[in-house]
Structure 1
């Protein structure tokens, strides 16, 4: 009981600071059978705030980005605001895109676990962090080319972002159609298709999958992963994961994201913290429609680098976990 009461502080922060729920709004709490306890708490909190609150429980999906049943998609499209504590992400779906196009504000929690509402990663000043996120987003928005390196020189790859728009996810969804997945607050940009080339050392996490304890190298050529170092345990796990999807587009690079949550930590067992830790970088592969890519796939996977050096048009914008814009 005490733990549930403690969770309500972060849940209240999400509804008040992130979604700005107002009395009379239609709030959809979309959850699955594995996360019903969290869904119930959001439902109670929504009712307390005077929102016309609906709880919808579905069978857990089998992977991130799996399309949702029509009845769920219709409910999302009709809602003013949505909060989605689920096992797998609803973000990379046509249902989510249709809901956003209809004006629904959406906060989603893929890989939801009760402990994420207790460890402080959701109890932050989202407005303050948004200022930092928007500064870095501006650099991506204005930029044409990106190079990512590391202090040890092992990571070195480039990508073209000309004509691409930054996708800031600040945690703040006050305007119609906005989305965010706290505690992973970040900014991201999609590379021009087939433009990423070079080598990256993945030493942070694989999402889904968890913390990387045995770093491995991937090689990217013309926007695709063409080689994974399977000499390490974590490299073999990624190779097996991508093969299991049975979709060649799962090897395509579709997102470059920078985690910017000062209280998120890799290794707590919470996927959104694995890619949200401040100053880390993740390469999203697979389905890229959320970020403006034309590449579609059956799922989406993020590969996290702990200490990247990010250069946009020759200017360093992130180094040693510090935003330099």
Structure 2
């Protein structure tokens, strides 16, 4: 009972601070069968706030971005606000895009686990942190080329973002059509298709998958992964994961994201924390339509780098886990 009461506090923060849920609004709680208890808490909290609350559940998908049943897609389009604690992300789906286009506000929790409602990663001032996200987004909005390096010299990656728009996900979904996946608060940008070049050491996490304990190298040519270092266990796991999609576009680079949650930590077993830890970056590959890319794929994978050095048009914006503008 005490644990349930502790979990209700961040549930309330999500509905009040992040979604700004109002009495009379139509709230859709969308939970797969792996997350029924969390879904029930959101449904109860929504009812307590006077929202017209609808709770739908479905069989977990097999991977991020896998399309949802049609009946759920229709319900999403009709909702004012949506909360989706699920095993796999609803973000990279046609149903999510249609719901956003219709004006639904969405908070989604891919890789959802009860631990994220207990470990403090949601105990932040989302509104205050949104200013940091806005400042970095402004830099990306006007940038043309990003250079990703590292202190050990293993990473050297060039990313073209000319005329691309930043996609901030700050946990604040007050305006129609906005989305965010707390505790992974971030800003992201899509590279120009098939232009990313170079090498990068993945030493943080693979999402879905978990913390990387044996770092490995990736090589990008013309925007696609052409080589995975399989000398480590984690490298072999990624190679197998990529092959399992049987989709050439799963190898395509579609996102550069910056983790900006000061209380998120890699390795707690919560995917959203793995890519949200402050000072890290992640390279998204696969489906990129929600970031402004034209590349479509059957799934989306994020690859996290712990201590990157990031320059935008020759100016350092991130080094040693510190931002500078």
Tell me the TM-score normalized by structure 2: 1.00
Query: Deviating runs (4+, > 6 A) in structure 1?
Result: none
Unpaired segments ≥5 residues, structure 1? none
**Residue 169 of structure 2: aligned partner:** 169
Deviation per residue, 1:63-99 (Å, 9 max, x gap)? 0000011100000000000000001000000000000
- For residues 226-285 of structure 1, the C-alpha deviation after alignment (integer angstroms, 9 at most, x for no partner) is 000000000000000000110010000000000000000000000000000001000000
Counterpart of 2:72 in 1: which secondary structure? helix
How far residue 19 of structure 1 moved from its aligned partner, in angstroms, is 0.1
Residue by residue, what CA displacement relative to the aligned partner does 1:159-201 show, whole Å, maximum 9, x if unpaired? 1101110000000000000000000000000000011000000
* Distance in 1 separating the partners of 2:43 and 2:155: 45
Secondary structure in structure 2 of the residue aligned to 1:219: strand
Counterpart check, 1:34 vs 2:67? no
CA distance in 2, matches of 1:132, 1:247: 36
**Within 5 A, what are the aligned runs for 1:1-325?**
1-325=1-325
Q: Say which SS state the counterpart of residue 176 (structure 1) adopts.
A: coil
Partner of 1:175: helix, strand, or coil?
Answer: coil
- Supply the distance in 2 between the matched residues of 1:8 and 1:126 (Cα, whole angstroms): 17
Deviations 1:208-239 (A, max 9, x none): 00000000000001000000000000000000
Distance 2:264 2:158 in 1: 27
Q: Distance in 2 between matches of 1:175 and 1:320?
A: 34
Looking at structure 2, the residues matched to 142 and 153 of structure 1 have their Cα atoms a distance apart, in angstroms, of 27
Give the TM-score, by structure 1 length. 1.00
CA distance in 1 between partners of 2:27 and 2:93 (Å)? 20
Q: Which segments of 5 or more consecutive residues in structure 2 lack a partner in the other structure? A: none
Distance 1:314 1:53 in 2: 49
Deviation at 1:153, TM superposition (A): 1.1
TM-aligned CA deviation for residue 123 of structure 1: 1.3
CA distance, structure 1, for counterparts of residue 219 and residue 60 of structure 2: 33
| CA distance, structure 2, for counterparts of residue 60 and residue 238 of structure 1 | 22
**How far, CA to CA, are the matches of 2:137 and 2:310 in structure 1?**
13
Distance across 1 between alignment mates of 2:290 and 2:324: 26
Q: Distance in 2 between matches of 1:126 and 1:213?
A: 30
Q: Tell me, in whole angstroms, the C-alpha distance in 2 between the residues paired with 1:144 and 1:19.
A: 33
Distance between the aligned counterparts of 2:317 and 2:127, measured in 1? 21
Q: CA deviation at 1:323?
A: 1.1
- The alpha-carbon deviation at position 128 of structure 1 amounts to 1.0
Q: Distance in 2 between matches of 1:244 and 1:60?
A: 18
SS at match of 2:75: helix
Distance between the aligned counterparts of 1:268 and 1:8, measured in 2? 20
